[in-house]
Amino acid sequence: MLFPTTIAGSLPKPGWLAEPERLWPEWRLAGPELREAQCDATRIALFEQERAGIDLVTDGEQSRRHFVHGFAGALDGVDLAKIARRGIRDNRYDADCPTIVGDVRRTTPVHADEMHFAREATRRRLKITIPGPMTIVDTLNDDYYRDRKKAAFAFARAIREEIEDLVALGIDAVQIDEPAFNVYFDEVEDWGVAALDACIEGVRCETIVHVCYGYGVDANVKWKTKLGEEWDQYAHIFPFLAQSKIDVVSMEMAGSHVPPRVLGLLGEKKAAVGVIDVATDRVETSEEVAATIELARQYLPDERIMCSTNCGMAPMRRDVAYAKLRALGAGARLAEAFVSHAPGFQIGTR
C-alpha cells in the first residue's frame, strides 16, 4: 500500500474526561473512575482512527495530561511538585516547569498499562509517542545536572528502557517528539541527534522522530507569523537527521510556509508528511490532502512517503478533529488511486 497514514499522536479528550479544547486540561474524575474513563476514551480514539482508515494508530494520548510531564514526571529525579515558571522554546512562551532534583532513573514502567490496554483494543499497527530528550530538558528546570546535554542523555536512557518494555507488549512503532529541534539548531548538531539515537539504540520496532511548529495555539500561531515567507528550520536540521538511526521523520507541511524541497535533505529516510493543518478548524478536502502528497512526490519516491497530521490535535474541537482524521485517510487513498491508475499522473496543486 502506498502512502500509509498515521497521526502525530494526540486527539481531543471527551468532555466527560477532561475540560474540552484545552491543551493541559484538568481531569473531571479521579482514582479508578478516572482510569476507567481514560480506557473508554482510548476505545473511542482508536475507533475513530480505524473508521477513518488510519493505518498506524495511537491511543490518542487519552491517559496523559501533559505530553512531557506525563513521562518525565514518572521518573526518579524529577520533582513534579517543585514548579518554577520559565520561558521555553527559546522564550517563545512561559510555562510552569517541574524540576530535575537528582539522578534521572526509570524505576518503573511509565506507559505500560495504557499501551497494554490499547494493544488489546485494536488490531491495527500501534504507535506510542514519547517526548524526546532535548524537548524534555527544555520543558524542565534543572537543579541537578546543570548541563542540558548530560541531562538529555540521562533521559535518553530512560526512554530506551521504556521503549524496550513497550515493544515487548506488542507496539509496532515509537515516535520521539522533538519540537525543540526546530529551535536549537546548534544543539541538534552537537548532541541532539546523538541523544535521539541513544533513545532507539537496539530497539526492535519502527522508529519515528516528530519535529514540528507546535500545536495550533496562540503563542505558536504568533511565532509562526514572525518566521517569514519561507520557513528554513527544517533545512538546518534535516541533514543531521539524515545521518541518524531513525527510520522516519515526521514533519509539518500542510498550510505552512515549509518549502517542500527540504524533503530532499532527508537522505534515505522516510517522511511522515503533515498533510493536515492543526492550526485551523477548516477541514481539508481529500483533494487538498492528495495535492500535498503530490508536492512531497516531487522530492521523495512514493515508497518513502507516509502521511500524518502536522502536530497533535489535543486542543481541537472533537468533531473537527475526527473530520480531519477522515480527510487524512480518504486523501491518502485518493492519492494512491491516482498513482496506481496512472503512474505518471500529476494530482496538481490548487
Q: Which residues bind Zn ion (CB under 5 A)?
A: 212, 311
CB of 339 to Zn ion, least distance (A): 27
CB of 276 or CB of 347, closer to Zn ion: 276
Q: What is the DSSP string of 186-253?
A: HHIIIIIHHHHHHHHTT--SEEEEEE-S--SSHHHHHHHHTS-SS--HHHHHHHHHTTSS-SEEEE--
All three cell numbers of 81, joined, read 511538585
Distance CA 114, CA 20 (A): 21
Amino acid at 304: R
Distance CA 158, CA 72 (A): 9
CB of 99 or CB of 310, closer to Zn ion: 310
CB of 97 or CB of 251, closer to Zn ion: 251
CB of 276 to Zn ion, least distance (A): 12
CB of 241 to Zn ion, least distance (A): 15
All three cell numbers of 5, joined, read 497514514
Task: Please state, in angstroms and as integers, the Cα–Cα distance from residue 301 to each residue in 210, 240, 267, 290, following that order.
Answer: 20, 20, 12, 15
CB of 315 or CB of 331, closer to Zn ion: 315
- Per the CB < 8 A criterion, the answer to whether 291 and 349 are in contact is yes
Helix (H, G, I), strand (E, B) or coil at 279: coil
| Nearest of 9, 59, 11 to residue 317 by alpha carbon | 11
CB of 170 to Zn ion, least distance (A): 25
CB of 179 to Zn ion, least distance (A): 5
CB of 328 to Zn ion, least distance (A): 15
CB of 49 or CB of 220, closer to Zn ion: 220
Distance CA 279, CA 221 (A): 7
CB of 215 to Zn ion, least distance (A): 7
Distance CA 139, CA 29 (A): 26
Distance CA 46, CA 61 (A): 11
CB of 128 or CB of 212, closer to Zn ion: 212
CB of 212 or CB of 332, closer to Zn ion: 212
| Nearest of 220, 331, 206 to residue 276 by alpha carbon | 331
- Per the CB < 8 A criterion, the answer to whether 307 and 5 are in contact is yes
User: Which residues lie across from 211 on neighbouring strands?
Assistant: 251
Backbone angles phi, psi at 249, to 5 degrees: -110, 120
CB of 212 or CB of 266, closer to Zn ion: 212
CB of 166 to Zn ion, least distance (A): 20
CB of 154 or CB of 325, closer to Zn ion: 325
CB of 280 to Zn ion, least distance (A): 15
